[in-house]
Amino acid sequence: MTGNPVREVEHSITVHAAPQDVYRLLAEVENWPRLFPPSVYVDYLERDGNSERIRIWATANGEPKNWASRRELDPENLRITFAQEVSAPPVAQMSGTWVIEPLDDDKTHLRLLHTYRAIDDDPEGLKWIDEAVDRNSKAELPSLKANVELATQTAELTLSFEDSVQVNGSAKDVYDFINEAGRWKERLPHVASVTLTEDTPGLQVLRMETLTKDGSSHTTESVRVCFPHHKIAYKQTTLPALMDLHTGYWTFEEDEKGVTTATSQHTVILNADNIAKVLGPDAGVAEARQFIRDALGNNSRATLGHAKNYAEARR
């Protein structure tokens, strides 16, 4: 074949947010589930100054996947380079750079560069990668722009909170109760129906119909990433009308006396357009925040209470 087997492509977009804010949101990987719709959870594997290895859990065509990536942060020049450690066929190698260029104090030109080649420099493989990178980048950048602008301009629509319970039982038993969500219909009175799929150990898709105190019900779907026996992180992929984003995690910490602190954490971005539809014409952001805090908190505390009873009965 003729031509260079290594391809370099660029996509870009203008973001109405300060360059430093755009850089910070991309640099801090815990923000990714709120920035990138496919992203479920991101964790650090290694960190050494501005060099790091991260593991990314995300959905691809509706299925949860995970991979490791290396990154180099350059806060002075507002650049972040990345490279996949192990690429999936037909990709032989894939790397790239986020370039954050100030247009003014609250406007940024965001460039996404990709460099890649196909296995055996196969032209058909390269064409497939060309199309995938182009399609994904054109979907990712407008979504990223919208979510960065939302994160920087609408702080009052974002809320994070947690509830904890002390358990006279092992972290493993409390973890098992939360991990075995497929049994929640028989174990939790506020769960009307549940379907749990776990094709890859530790990667779950949980679909659930939940009842609230006022008798109404809503169906949600979440992707969950499970770390025995200390953490389960999740992101809702099917959301109630009042939310634009819902991520969270369960943590289980056992002390030397065998007492476990079990915690449920939630981060929510409210859908401002639906507040009046859901809560009535007189409701505003304050009422929506309180409603979400109560609804999610009540269900979490109920689940923690049943998990506590389960673990303590097994001592």
91: Cα within 13 Å, side-chain hemisphere? 18
Q: Say if CB 202 and CB 226 are below 8 A apart.
A: yes
Strand order in the sheet with 91-104: 7-15, 107-118, 91-104, 79-84, 63-74, 51-60, 39-48
Give yes or no for residue 213 having a pLDDT over 80.
no
How is the chain split into domains, by residue range? 7-153, 157-313
- Exposed/middle/buried for residue 60 (C-beta within 10 Å: 0-12, 13-18, 19+): exposed
- Read off the pLDDT of each residue in 264-292 and give the average, rounded to a whole number: 96
Nearest to 59 by CA among 228, 200, 167, 183: 200
Q: What is the pLDDT of residues 65-92, one digit of tens each?
A: 888 999 999 999 999 999 999 888 899 9
pLDDT of residue 3: 58
DSSP conformation letters of 123-135:
HHHHHHHHHHHHH
Distance separating alpha carbons of residues 189 and 195, to the nearest angstrom:
16
pLDDT of residue 149: 93
- The confidence band for 1, taking pLDDT boundaries of 50, 70 and 90, is very low
Model's pTM, two decimal places? 0.86
- The confidence band for 63, taking pLDDT boundaries of 50, 70 and 90, is confident
User: Which CATH superfamily includes the segment(s) 7-153?
Assistant: START domain (3.30.530.20)
pLDDT of residue 241: 92
Whether domain 157-313 has CATH 3.40.1280.10: the reply is no
Chain centroid to Cα 98, Å, comes to 20
Omega before 64 within 30 of 0, i.e. cis: no
7-153 and 157-313: identical CATH topology: yes
Report the DSSP beta bridge partners of residue 164: 263
- The confidence band for 2, taking pLDDT boundaries of 50, 70 and 90, is very low
pLDDT of residue 87: 82
Q: For residue 16, which amino acid is it? A: H
Chain centroid to Cα 46, Å, comes to 20
Chain centroid to Cα 255, Å, comes to 29
Radius of gyration of the chain (CA): 22
Q: What is the pLDDT of residues 6-15, one digit of tens each?
A: 999 999 999 9
